Chain A
Amino acid sequence: GAGVSQSPSNKVTEKGKDVELRCDPISGHTALYWYRQSLGQGLEFLIYFQGNSAPDKSGLPSDRFSAERTGGSVSTLTIQRTQQEDSAVYLCASSFNGGYQETQYFGPGTRLLVL
Chain B
Amino acid sequence: RKEVEQDPGPFNVPEGATVAFNCTYSNSASQSFFWYRQDCRKEPKLLMSVYSSGNEDGRFTAQLNRASQYISLLIRDSKLSDSATYLCVVNSNTDKLIFGTGTRLQVFP
A residues touching B (Cβ–Cβ < 8 Å)?
31, 33, 35, 40-43, 45, 48, 50, 56, 59, 91, 98-101, 103-104, 106-109
Contact = CB atoms under 8 A, between A and B. Distances in A.
A98 B98 contact: no
Given A99-B95, A100-B97, 11 more contacts: A42-B99, A42-B101, A43-B44, A43-B99, A45-B96, A48-B96, A59-B96, A100-B31, A101-B31, A101-B49, A107-B43
Given A103-B46, A106-B44, A41 B101 contact: yes
Nearest to A95: B95
25 contacts: A35-B99, A40-B101, A42-B4, A42-B102, A43-B87, A43-B99, A45-B96, A45-B97, A45-B98, A48-B95, A48-B96, A91-B43, A91-B44, A98-B95, A99-B95, A100-B31, A100-B91, A100-B94, A100-B95, A100-B96, A104-B97, A106-B43, A106-B44, A107-B43, A109-B43
Given A41-B101, A106-B44, A56 B94 contact: yes
B45 interface: yes
Nearest to B97: A104
Interface of B: 4, 31-32, 34, 42-46, 49, 87, 91, 94-102
Given A42-B100, A100-B32, A101-B32, A108 B42 contact: yes
- Interface-centre pick from A45, A50, A100, A104 (highest chain B CB count, 10 A): A100
Given A42-B100, A45-B96, A45-B98, A108 B43 contact: yes
